[in-house]
Structure 1
Amino acid sequence: MNLLRASAREAAAASSGGSGRPGAGVQVALAPPYTAIDVVGDAIRGSGLLLAAQDVAAAHEGAYTGEVSAAMLVDAGVGLVIVGHSERRHGLGETDAVVLEKVHRAGEAGLQVTLCVGETGDERDAGRAEEVVERQVDAVVDLGRVPLHVAYEPVWAIGTGRTATHEDARSMHAHIRATVAAIAGRDAAEALIIQYGGSVKPDNSAALLAQDGVDGLLVGGASLDAASFAAVVPL
């Protein structure tokens, strides 16, 4: 919940400046607040960047005041939606069942989905990190039916300045891939894009991307400044 329309437009235009196009085989998406989806979409049109949304309703339509449906997102030009972000799971009480319904709605509308999974500090300290993440992945049982990415975001590393060690990232990404292989098969697991999120910054992004099994990044605060974002994701 950052940036008003004018500043969001300015940041998006700066992010899509220069060559304005991601490198071959690289997808870059910007997920502004709902109120700025239209102006950000205009700013990045033709740039090769994908317009994304930060969340989606679990229902198709109806009396759900304040919610935004998958069909509404598609109508606004959105191509990807983030589902299950830790701030919604832990701050707003979203359960695995709610996250699954949101994945269903997004998939039915033809949206790509970035599914966020991750453990809290207490869960990691109790030795339950892999169990928690496996449960969150396993809850989305129809991985083959939805264009899905997974973003591992250890909750204890979000907005805290702490970042998972390289071994933390490598081992959890490997565990996620093994979990997906057990659900959807080895081919689906090998094709799956798994991103790391959690205090990603210009000074740690390259090292994170160099880790085996880390296919991309989910960038939070560093995306609010175009220069910082460009240092994480060169365009």
Structure 2
Amino acid sequence: MRRLIAGNWKMNGLISSQAEIEALKGLTGGATCDIVVCPPFTLIDRAVEAVKGSNLVIGAQDCHAQSSGAHTGEISAEMLADLGVRYVILGHSERRVLNGEDDEIVMGKALAAHRAGLISIVCVGETRHERDEARALEVVGEQLRGSVPEGATSRHLVIAYEPVWAIGTGLVPTSEQIEEVHAAIRQMLKERLGDDGHLVKILYGGSVKASNAAVIFGLRNVDGALVGGASLKASEFAGIISAAV
């Protein structure tokens, strides 16, 4: 399966940060994996123009469930598609926790993304407390069942496993822990989608960097990565992409 490496810039980046995307184009010209950069909404239009003719594509960090209407401050999936966006991150733990998004909200957004022709990167993952209580597989299973809509297929769905306690902390689960959760996700996808469940990419996210990427990509059922802080600098992100080859 062709790997997917997605960079989530979160609430980082000014117009001057466009230089990092330009630099990344020069560093990843021969990459054999799919590469997505998800900048803040303010930079998407410029980023789409910047990556034309390259192997980079642009994603977004969220969308609204409705296509239009009285939703001040929100962005619809159709608006993103209109700009040339290809992917959208949904259900990131920061939005689940800080914005109160539950599985039903995430599923509504996934339906909207599919309606607009976008590929959803649906995030799931347990907290440290849930991990310590040996509930990681239970929590991830509940999120997966509640967030992935009926009719989903590998053409417009990616799953990202991001243990909440590893995001931005420098902590990384053991290889055995990552493989256990990814194997469980794969089994759930096969039960839900049949044979097509084999084809859905499952990304790992949580303190991925150039120094540990090769080990992570060598694990079973790890089809790529959702990268946070390390995607902000082209040189570091390119190192992760190189490890995926």
TM-score, normalised by the number of residues in structure 2: 0.91
1:149-160 to 2 correspondence within 5 Å? Answer: 149-160=158-169
Any gaps of 5 or more consecutive residues in structure 1? Answer: none
**CA 1:21–1:105: 2 relative to 1, 3 Å:** farther
Aligned mates of 2:169, 2:28 — CA distance in 1: 33
Out of 31, 36, 45, the position equivalent to 2:38 is: 31
Query: How far 1:189 moved relative to its partner?
Result: 1.7
Task: Number of aligned residue pairs: give it.
Answer: 231
Residue pair 2:130, 2:136 contacting (<8 A) in 1 also: yes
Aligned mates of 2:114, 2:14 — CA distance in 1: 29
Cα root mean square deviation, aligned: 1.3
Residue pair 1:141, 1:183 contacting (<8 A) in 2 also: no
**CA 1:129–1:19: 2 relative to 1, 3 Å:** closer
Does residue 188 in structure 1 map to residue 196 in structure 2? Answer: yes
Does residue 63 in structure 1 map to residue 73 in structure 2? Answer: no
Does residue 6 in structure 1 map to residue 16 in structure 2? Answer: yes
State the match for 1:224 in structure 2: 232
What is the percentage of aligned positions where both structures have the same residue?
46
- Name the structure, 1 or 2, with higher relative contact order (CA <8 Å, separation 6+): 2
Any gaps of 5 or more consecutive residues in structure 2? Answer: 1-10
Opposite residue 64 of structure 1, the aligned amino acid is H
Residue pair 1:22, 1:49 contacting (<8 A) in 2 also: no
Aligned mates of 2:192, 2:124 — CA distance in 1: 16
State the match for 2:116 in structure 1: 109
Query: How far 1:84 moved relative to its partner?
Result: 0.5
SS, match of residue 34 in structure 2: coil
After TM superposition, the runs of 4+ consecutive aligned structure 1 residues lying more than 6 A away are none
* Structure richer in strand, relative to its length: 2
Query: How far 1:5 moved relative to its partner?
Result: 1.6
Residue pair 2:37, 2:57 contacting (<8 A) in 1 also: yes
Deviations 1:64-123 (A, max 9, x none): 000000010011110110111111011111000000000000000000111100001111
Opposite residue 88 of structure 1, the aligned amino acid is R
TM-score, normalised by the number of residues in structure 1: 0.95
